[in-house]
Structure 1
């Protein structure tokens, strides 16, 4: 049995993200979207822009999260943010929400509870910041896990807005 196949998620340490994790988070985001079926050409444009966006946020702590480690090897990660949002029926006394993004587990480490563990760490981090409501955008692969953890569908819709078009 390989080391990867024998790994027990409960035995792997989880540590906070640091600014030194810039390459790792960019790699995880790129791989996540590639596996979700996004076009490589789009990702080639997105990844450098994301890197430029992420670097100052990792440095100032406005993008935070956790990494699961197998020895010196990072094998899973989660990104978190606190976002401004007007009071809402689901959080009538708060003007902010937690936001979960970039949940990724390296393929050899999947189905061992790492994403579940990272989501629990996210809950604790949001709670420690006084955030009582959080959102995420799920891939098809991640949706069953999030549903098992109590996340539910919302009424959100989206569209790309074309600049310079009238009416």
Structure 2
């Protein structure tokens, strides 16, 4: 069964030079969204120097991705799309105590990408990226290069672990 990734009610848009991606803290189950005004709420900052018309589609809490057992699977917060680029995003607001939050985010991204790649919509994009963004600016004891290289081998998506997403 193919999953619909273009649900208008799950989407917000912007063509601003700078805007943010927000995910309200729990226990609310609201989907993530674009915000252009309140930088204090931004988990990821999107730099859109060329002012691309950009769509953010919320996936978690908006698009159902169920496993063979009928249970809801882990999903990333959403995806940015513009021109021929898709960027899957997982937003975190956690301090830097170990790598468990990165591992969880990576699983959420991989699962969402796996289902997305089964759709015809995925063929519209030739630039494919994924971001794990954490507003707490964690510092790592070791480099994440090995993790990013493995992610690319597994998904063919470029992974970045940073809170600034630059659209080119």
TM-score of the superposed pair, with normalisation by structure 1: 0.36
Higher strand share: 2
TM-score of the superposed pair, with normalisation by structure 2: 0.35
